[in-house]
Amino acid sequence: MQDTRLEMQRNPTSLLGEGCAHGGASYTDRMKVFISIKYHADHANQPRLRIIRELTRMHGMDPVCIADRADPGELLEFDPNELMRKTFLELRDSKLVVVDLTEKGVGVGIEAGCARARGIPIVTKAAVVNKFILH
C-alpha cells in the first residue's frame, strides 16, 4: 500500500492504466472507482454525487455507487444484509474509493474501513456546508 501512495503522489493518473489519463481507454480498460456517499431515499445529495461521478469519468474511471442504484421516483426499502453484501462485492473489485465526508453516515464509515482493510487507495472530499470564521 505504501508503494501505491508514493506512486499516486508522484503521478496521480498512474493507477489508471495505459491511455486512461488522457481519456483514451475503452470502457473495459477503465479503472473501477467506488463512490461512498450517504444514502438518501429522496436522493437529496444527487447534485454532489453527479459531480463526483462526472469527475471520475473525466479521468478515465468507471464510477460505481450503491446509493445511486435506486430510481429517483421509486422509494425502495433495502434489506441491510443484502445491501452490505452488494457493497462488499463492488468494493472488492474497485481500484480506488472516493469517500464523500460532507454528511455523517454509518455506511460511509463501513465502506471506508473495508477499503482500508483491503489496501484500496481512498480519496476523501467534503463540500463546504457552513463556513465558520474563527477570530
Q: How many CA atoms lie within 13 A of 37 on its CB side?
A: 29
Total tally of structural domains belonging to the chain: 1
Residue 16 lies in a domain: no
The mean pLDDT value for 108-129 works out to 90
Residue 2 lies in a domain: no
pTM: 0.69
Residue 104 lies in a domain: yes
Between the CA of residue 34 and those of 20, 53, 114, 120, 121, what are the distances in Å? 17, 10, 12, 10, 11
Q: State the pLDDT at residue 125.
A: 87
pLDDT tens per residue across span 91-117: 999 999 999 998 888 889 999 999 999
Residue 110 lies in a domain: yes
Residue 91 lies in a domain: yes
Residue 85 lies in a domain: yes
CATH code (residue 109) = 3.40.50.450
Structural domain containing residue 35? 30-125
